[in-house]
A and B are shown apart, each in its own frame.
Chain A
Amino acid sequence: MAYSDKVIEHYENPRNVGTFKSQSDVDASEVGTGLVGAPACGDVMRLEIRVKDGLIADARFKTFGCGSAIASSSLATEMIKGMTLDQAAQIKNTHIVQELNFPPVKIHCSVLAEDAIKAAIEDYKKKQAPRTAAGSAGAAAAKPQDA
């Protein structure tokens, strides 16, 4: 199958590869992680977002999958940077399909990237939920224990 130039470009120079976990300057409470797919299906994406002041300040990914899956997740990290969580949650797989010129057989790669974004946002919100609840109860903002 012939790949589009954009897929090849992302595959050869993937953006934002890695993890925040080993970055000492990143507070774990700022990070949301989406891990989607399955090794038995031939693709697994892990997308991490770092949220500051309600905006996605940075993103990281690692992907086990074909070139199109790698390109989808690389592109996704670029797209979501600077977005609010709500904006990022609106990203549809069709945006990725268009941007990377996917043939029909590769559409599932873009779906996986959309799922990864949503899962990362959900994970981040879950982490924030106890603190938000504590805040609304009028308690003093506690330093996150998992820092």
Chain B
Amino acid sequence: MNFDHLHLLLNHVPIIGFFVGVGLFVASFTGTNEDLRRSALIIFAAVALVTIPTFASGVGADRSIAGEPGISEALVRRHEGAAMLGLWFVEATGAAAVMVLWRSRRTIGPPRKGLATVLLLAIVAAVLMGRTGNTGGDIRHPEPGVTRGAAVTEGPVGSIIHVFEPTPDGFTQLMVATKWWWATMMVLHFVGLSLIIGVVGVINLRIMGFAKELPFAPLHRLLPLGMAGLAINVVTGMLAFIGMPAYYAADIAFWFKLAALMLLGLNAAVFYLTGIFHRVERLGPGEDAALSAKIVAASSLLLWFTVIISGRYIQHFEDSLRF
């Protein structure tokens, strides 16, 4: 698989996405532009999702260009460290954005503290994504005079950020240092999986017509429980990936799982942003959902089970891809 090209295709999304998102978000504070603010929050959440395969494809890209003449190992490691730091701020911004979107539906006016948190995280994430892009660009197009094997020089901003960047190999070794830490992460990943399937299953089955006596609105208030499960699994999943990057990147089942996850993002966008949700939200006891809602609910269930099944098949498909 050509990870080099996949990475080059995906890596523009987090950088441009966060620059545009921060711009829209800041602009939304001049006056009270609710639509602009909502758009910025949705962009943060969407970019947080796409950043996962972007990060993962970097490992494949690294393996496929490693050893090529003119590629500096030090520059690759610096880029990897920058990505490993930036990733968490992008994910945290996405999570905070979803929380603010959730809370502003139920309260009059958006929560101020939540908005401030998103703004702060988004600015840090945008700076770190800029740094990640720059260090990544340096791999193929190093500064004039920098030769393979030469020490990496940092500018004033880069040298400050570099203090906080993890050493990629060190981070990896930390994750696999003891089997008990790994076992704990896997238990948490299964707890998260249960929370997601429980909440998503109950909500989607109700939309599809099971247990119709349930009014939809209170049922939908279970969603934070499922989102907590998703948060647990994004964190434990990414940590597991960092623990064995080459193992996951060379696995077709892993990429199938990520693809299903991306489609779930698209599915959620269709559900919440096209008006389907507004019609479903009013369903009282005994009322039937529209066919469009049932289709979206069924595809959500199908995709979540695809995520579980392909996740479980990762071990079976070890080494199924060539870099």
A and B held together in a complex = no
Binding site for A on B (CB under 8 A): none
